Amino acid sequence: MVKLIDFFATWCGPCKMMEPVFTELKQELAGRVEFEKVDVDSDPVRAGQFRVMSVPTFVLEKDGREVARTVGYHAKEDLKTWIESHSQL
């Protein structure tokens, strides 16, 4: 299974802009991609495990291994294409 992890912060403007994109993709890709959100302020240990240095950071895992990462705001179709290109959905 493929998992998209969204590392975010509640105070982050681009993170807030990504919220509806993340929600829409979660609905569109249900059953094919697992989605997880990690608040870097509430869970700094998890953010540290992934060496997250800025937010938003999106980490794509396949079979429990990181296969890709991207940082910053992305339009919905761009993020969807990125997910699909790295996960062979």
Is 39 designated active site? no
**pLDDT value for 1:** 85
Instruction: Report how far residue 3's alpha carbon sits from residue 64's, in angstroms, rounded to the nearest whole number.
Output: 8
> How many C-alpha atoms does 85 have within 13 Å on its Cβ side?
9
Where do the DSSP E strands lie in 1-89? Answer: 2-8, 33-39, 57-62, 65-71
> pTM for the complete prediction?
0.94
Top pLDDT among 23 and 89 is at 23
- Chain segment 25-78, per-residue pLDDT in tens: 999 999 999 999 999 999 999 999 999 999 999 999 999 999 999 999 999 999
Question: Out of 3, 12, 46, 76, which one is annotated catalytic?
Answer: 12
Residue 76 annotated in active site = no
Give me the catalytic one of 9, 15, 55, 59: 15
The number of helices, as runs of H, and strands, as runs of E, in the chain is 3, 4
